[in-house]
């Protein structure tokens, strides 16, 4: 069960304070005035999550040209996020959410079905999801169950 629904388009994105891959604290409200892509992934350094992160990496210049901040969040520790970032040379900030407070706030932690290599599994964790937040802190795109292979291009097309 999910504690609350994912923020809907037009709603204010819940503010949060979370540690980044460097151990620094980041607040969403500190990014007012900039567009933010906040994407949630289940586990650092697994195939789908790596593909998605590398797609964001490979398109990163297209986001920076548009003045967009990219944030990737998962229930990994600061150390795990730092290792994932270094291993794949990821140029954007990763958020460490090991106690899944951030995922809970966004309605993305719970038990759900996933399809892996053609088989349905029930799992408890983060639903792979992407939000776009405008400079005023409002959600302009909110999608769960995104395809890690195509998500980056979908988001770019919306910017």
Question: Minimal CA–CA distance to 42: which of 92, 150, 93, 116?
Answer: 116
Q: Is there a catalytic annotation at residue 54?
A: no
Residues 6+ apart with CB under 8 A from 46: none
CA 118, chain centre distance (Å) = 24
Q: Where are the alpha helices (DSSP H) in the chain?
A: 47-58, 60-65, 78-87, 101-105, 151-158
| CA-based R_g, the chain, Å | 14
Strands 35-40, 68-74: pairing is parallel
Q: Which member of 38, 49, 103, 126 is catalytic?
A: 49
SS (H, E, C) 134-153: CCCCEEEEEEECCCCCCHHH
Residues with active-site annotation = 49
């Amino acid at each position: 069960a999910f504690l609350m629904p994912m923020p809907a388009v037009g709603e204010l994105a819940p503010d949060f304070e979370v540690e980044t891959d460097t151990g620094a604290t980041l607040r969403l409200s500190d990014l007012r005035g900039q567009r933010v892509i906040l994407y949630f992934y289940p586990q650092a350094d697994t195939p789908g999550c790596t593909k998605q992160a590398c797609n964001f990496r490979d398109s990163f210049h297209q986001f920076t040209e548009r003045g967009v901040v990219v944030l990737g969040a998962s229930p990994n520790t600061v150390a795990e996020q730092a290792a994932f970032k270094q291993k794949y040379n990821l140029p954007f900030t990763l958020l460490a959410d090991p106690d899944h407070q951030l995922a809970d706030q966004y309605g993305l932690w719970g038990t759900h079905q996933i399809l892996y290599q053609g088989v349905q599994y029930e799992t408890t964790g983060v639903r792979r999801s992407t939000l776009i937040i405008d400079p005023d802190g409002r959600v302009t795109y909110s999608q769960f169950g995104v395809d890690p292979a195509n998500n980056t291009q979908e988001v770019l097309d919306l910017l």
